[in-house]
C-alpha cells in the first residue's frame, strides 16, 4: 500500500513540475480581434487596446512561456490578421491562439441596429450577418487559417469561439427578449462556422459558450459588459471575470 502511495505521489509531483517546464519552452503568439486583445477589461493601451487582463496576457503571466507575442488588435478582421498580424508571427511559434470572424460578420453595426431599431429590424440585420457567415466567411477563415499554418507550421493553433452575449431569462434588460435571442442566434451560427473551418484546417477549436452559461449581459452575475458609455468600446465585450473565468480556462484546457 505504501509503495502505491509513493508511486501516485511521485507521479503527481512529476506532472506538477513538468507543466511549468513545458510552458517555459513555448513560444506563444496571440492573434485576433478585440476579444483577444482584451477590450472590456481594465488597462487597455495603444491603438489596438491591448490589456494585461486579456486571456492571452493572463495565460502568459501564469505560464511564463519562453516568448509571448501579443499581436491581437481591436477591430481586426480576417484581412487585418492576414495583412499585419501573420507577417509578424514567429515562424517557430509553438502555440497560437485566435478569435476572428466577428468583425467580418458585422458585429458592431448589428449591435447598433439592435439597440436603436425595432425587433424586426434587429432580426433582419442579424440575418444579413448569417448570410455573410454562410456564403463569404468560410473562404476568409480558410485563407486566414492556411496562412497561419504556412507561417508557423509546427504550432498548435487554438481557435476560440465567441460567447452568447445575452441572458434571455431576465425581464429587465437594455434590449428586448426578441432582440437578445436574435443576437445570440447570430453568435451561434458564427461559432458553428468557425468550428467547422477550424477543424477542417486541423486546428483545435475551443468553445467558450459553456463557460459563459448564466453569465451573459443582464444576468445576475454578468461576465460581459452591457452598453458602456465610457469607454464605449467595452460594450458587449468580456469584463475581467469573463476573461479569467471564461476565456482563460478555454485556452488552458486546449493548449
Residue 6: its pLDDT value, please?
38
Cell of 159: 481557435
Residue 22: its pLDDT value, please?
59
- CA-atom Rg of the chain in angstroms: 19
Catalytic residues: 34, 237
Give the chain's count of helices (H) and strands (E). 10, 5
Please check the confidence at residue 112 and state whether its pLDDT lies above 60: yes
Q: Where are the alpha helices (DSSP H) in 105-176?
A: 107-116, 119-135, 137-151
CATH no. for residue 142? 3.40.50.1110
Q: Is 51 within a domain?
A: yes
Q: Is 10 within a domain?
A: no
- Please say whether the dihedral angle defined by the alpha carbons of residues 115, 120, 124 and 126, taken in this order, is positive or negative: positive
What domain count does the chain have?
Answer: 1
Q: Is 99 within a domain?
A: yes
Question: Average model confidence (pLDDT) for the chain?
Answer: 93
- Average pLDDT (44-52) is 98
Q: How confident is the model at residue 19 (pLDDT cuts 50, 70, 90)?
A: very low
Q: Is 173 within a domain?
A: yes
CA nearest 54: which of 249, 244, 250?
244
Please check the confidence at residue 4 and state whether its pLDDT lies above 60: no
Please check the confidence at residue 11 and state whether its pLDDT lies above 70: no
Which of 13-17, 102-106, 172-176, 210-214 bottoms out in mean pLDDT, i.e. has the lowest? Answer: 13-17
Q: Is 72 within a domain?
A: yes
pLDDT above 90 as % of the chain: 90
CA geometry: angle 67, 69, 73, nearest 5 deg: 165
The CA-to-CA distance between both ends of the chain, in Å, stands at 35
Q: Is 163 within a domain?
A: yes
Please check the confidence at residue 174 and state whether its pLDDT lies above 70: yes
- Average pLDDT (180-190) is 98
Please check the confidence at residue 238 and state whether its pLDDT lies above 90: yes
Q: Is 87 within a domain?
A: yes
Q: Is 17 within a domain?
A: no
pTM score, whole prediction: 0.90
Residue 16: its pLDDT value, please?
42
Domain that holds residue 53: 25-254
Amino acid at each position: 500500500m505504501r509503495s502505491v502511495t509513493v508511486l501516485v505521489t511521485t507521479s503527481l509531483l512529476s506532472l506538477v513540475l513538468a507543466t511549468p517546464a513545458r510552458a517555459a519552452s513555448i513560444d506563444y503568439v496571440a492573434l485576433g480581434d478585440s476579444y483577444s486583445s482584451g477590450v472590456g477589461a481594465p488597462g487597455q493601451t495603444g491603438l489596438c487596446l491591448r490589456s494585461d487582463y486579456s486571456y492571452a496576457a493572463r495565460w502568459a503571466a501564469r505560464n511564463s512561456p519562453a516568448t509571448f507575442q501579443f499581436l491581437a488588435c481591436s477591430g481586426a478582421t480576417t484581412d487585418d490578421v492576414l495583412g499585419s498580424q501573420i507577417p509578424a508571427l514567429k515562424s517557430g511559434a509553438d502555440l497560437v491562439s485566435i478569435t476572428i470572424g466577428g468583425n467580418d460578420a458585422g458585429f458592431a453595426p448589428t449591435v447598433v441596429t439592435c439597440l436603436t431599431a425595432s425587433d424586426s429590424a434587429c432580426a433582419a440585420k442579424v440575418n444579413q450577418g448569417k448570410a455573410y457567415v454562410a456564403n463569404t466567411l468560410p473562404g476568409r477563415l480558410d485563407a486566414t487559417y492556411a496562412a497561419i499554418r504556412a507561417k508557423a507550421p509546427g504550432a498548435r493553433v487554438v481557435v476560440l469561439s465567441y460567447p452568447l452575449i445575452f441572458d434571455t431569462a431576465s425581464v429587465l434588460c437594455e434590449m428586448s427578449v426578441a432582440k437578445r435571442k436574435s443576437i445570440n442566434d447570430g453568435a451561434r451560427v458564427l461559432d458553428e462556422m468557425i468550428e467547422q473551418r477550424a477543424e477542417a484546417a486541423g486546428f483545435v477549436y475551443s468553445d467558450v459558450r459553456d463557460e459563459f452559461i448564466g453569465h451573459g449581459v443582464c444576468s445576475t452575475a454578468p461576465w460581459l459588459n452591457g452598453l458602456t458609455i465610457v469607454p464605449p468600446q467595452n460594450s458587449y465585450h468580456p469584463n475581467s471575470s469573463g476573461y479569467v473565468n471564461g476565456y482563460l480556462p478555454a485556452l488552458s484546457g486546449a493548449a
